A and B are shown apart, each in its own frame.
Chain A
Amino acid sequence: MTDDLERRLRSPWVGSQPPPVESIYSMAPRRRPAHRPTGMRIIAAAATIALLGIAAVVVRDAPSEEIVVAASPSTTEPTRSTPAPDVDSGARVDIGRSTRSEHLLDYQVREHAVRDEAGNWVVFVGLHNPTTSPVEVMVHGATAVLRGTTGDCPASPAIASDPDPGDPTTNCTWTSPVMSGATGSVLDRFITIHPDLTTWIPLPIRADDWVGSAVIHGQLLWRSDTGDWWKGSVIVIERVPLPSAVSPDRGGG
């Protein structure tokens, strides 16, 4: 009997077929390099992340220095934004590596954005943590591709395409970084989203003189208490007016 029990215990108790290993790769945290410093890890991550995040910002004329995007109320106000009415309750965003509810955050974009001291437009993305545990997130590798619809194309080494650089009515496209660090934003470093609170993350866009539309590339990353981190969702901001009062006269090639 002992032998029989031992045999039964040692054989697999079920014959479950595993799901494709791709599903594990898709939900796994990024591999932690054995002894690579954090900076190297972030640089390595950026190359991959640059391929993923995409956010769209439609820029158009507006009467004031405000960018209007879909928004919803907050519990933590960004310091330099204008109070806005509720427009959209926002979507729930999966920032984790599975569909488990504890890895979800509620996402919203503030209706009004502001100019910072350097003249950049700052869009605020609010992340609300509905769980009972703090999570750490980062908006990483963000860039904005601006598409002009009026005025001139800005003088920028990052111009991606401009079919007629001297034509003030032409369409043109250029890429601008969504900046980090220098403007005091919290991009590119992890911030803690505490339970049942909304934290606003500023996204400063170098679109000072620009009138048109933009696509922003960015990615949410999530870090667990073990230090592992995962790629999360892509942000899409759909409509943001820029003021017509600012003349797009710095461009022209």
Chain B
Amino acid sequence: MIVPERPRLEGAQQDDDGFASWYVEVWPRLVGFLLVQTRDRQEAEDLAAETMARSLARWGTGDVERPTAWAFTVAMNLSRRSFRRQVRDRAAAQRWATRDWVAEPDVRDPDLLVALAGLPRRQRLAVGLFYLADLTQAEVARSMGISPGTAAALLHQARTRLRRQLGGEP
């Protein structure tokens, strides 16, 4: 028999290095970003936790200059895999046709999220990286593996589409 056991928490070092405060600050933005990518709250939080765990592994090693940007790039890559999985998942496909996934009390702007989720995938990613991760257009381009011009075009198209869709909003 194998008894699963989690690694011990090394409490004394928990926020010596600022990870915990960074984690609290970035978490909601990361979940929002992933929620729009996946339209699945549980999946979004799982992927956010996975992203945070990977960030913790790199924290303080000097490998990562801008942890927030790095974390969002990791989250983007994780969400791509999740998207491929969801494409094969009928239940997930049905969720895409509803607004259930924004029916959580902490979703502050459900109309915005629905509009964002309706964007083409690359526009969704670009908007999330630009506005939530606070990347520059050049950094968005680098993260997505596209040219800066393409990143600028994706952001412009996304904003145009969102304005059109949300135009009637107060």
Q: Which residues of A contact B (CB under 8 A)?
A: 1-2, 4-6, 8-19, 21-34, 48, 51-54, 70, 91, 93-94, 97-98, 100, 107, 220, 228, 230-231, 233-236, 238
**B87 contacts across to A, CB distance below 8 A:** none
A14 to B110, CA, bound (A): 9
B96 at the A interface (CB under 8 A): no
Pair A228/B57 contact, Cβ less than 8 Å: yes
B10 at the A interface (CB under 8 A): yes
**B19 contacts across to A, CB distance below 8 A:** 21
B2 at the A interface (CB under 8 A): yes
Count of inter-chain pairs, beta carbons less than 8 A: 159
A-B contact pairs, 20 of them (CB 8 A): A1-B163, A2-B159, A9-B112, A12-B108, A12-B132, A14-B104, A17-B28, A18-B23, A18-B24, A18-B28, A21-B20, A25-B10, A25-B56, A29-B53, A53-B5, A98-B50, A228-B57, A233-B2, A234-B2, A234-B3
A125 to B85, CA, bound (A): 33
**A236 contacts across to B, CB distance below 8 A:** 1-3
Pair A16/B31 contact, Cβ less than 8 Å: yes
Nearest A-chain residue to B31, judged by Cβ = A16
Nearest B-chain residue to A56, judged by Cβ = B1
**A31 contacts across to B, CB distance below 8 A:** 56-61
Most chain-A Cβ atoms within 10 A of its Cβ — which of B7, B8, B60, B166? B7
| 8 Å CB contact of A13 from B45, B56, B113 | B113
B37 to chain A, nearest CB (A): 11
B10 to chain A, nearest CB (A): 7
Most chain-B Cβ atoms within 10 A of its Cβ — which of A17, A28, A33, A91? A28
Q: A32-B57, A48-B8, A70-B1 are in contact. Are A5 and B14 (CB under 8 A)?
A: no
**B7 contacts across to A, CB distance below 8 A:** 25-26, 30, 48, 52, 97, 230-231
A85 to B13, CA, bound (A): 49
Mask of B21-49 contacts with A, CB within 8 angstroms, 1/0 = 00110011101110110000000011001
Pair A91/B35 contact, Cβ less than 8 Å: no
Question: How many chain B residues touch the partner (CB < 8 A)?
Answer: 57
| 8 Å CB contact of A27 from B1, B14, B49, B169 | B49
A124 to B15, CA, bound (A): 41
Instruction: List 9 tightest A-B contacts by C-beta distance, closest first.
Output: A13-B32, A18-B27, A15-B106, A28-B53, A28-B56, A93-B2, A9-B131, A29-B57, A16-B31
**B154 contacts across to A, CB distance below 8 A:** none
Nearest B-chain residue to A108, judged by Cβ = B2
Mask of B148-170 contacts with A, CB within 8 angstroms, 1/0 = 00000000000100110011010
Nearest A-chain residue to B26, judged by Cβ = A18
Pair B4/A233 contact, Cβ less than 8 Å: yes
**B131 contacts across to A, CB distance below 8 A:** 6, 9-10
**A100 contacts across to B, CB distance below 8 A:** 46
Q: A18-B24, A33-B61 are in contact. Are A238 and B1 (CB under 8 A)?
A: yes
B54 at the A interface (CB under 8 A): yes
A34 to B169, CA, bound (A): 50
B145 at the A interface (CB under 8 A): no
Nearest A-chain residue to B33, judged by Cβ = A13
**A11 contacts across to B, CB distance below 8 A:** 108-109
A231 to chain B, nearest CB (A): 4
| 8 Å CB contact of B23 from A16, A21, A228 | A21
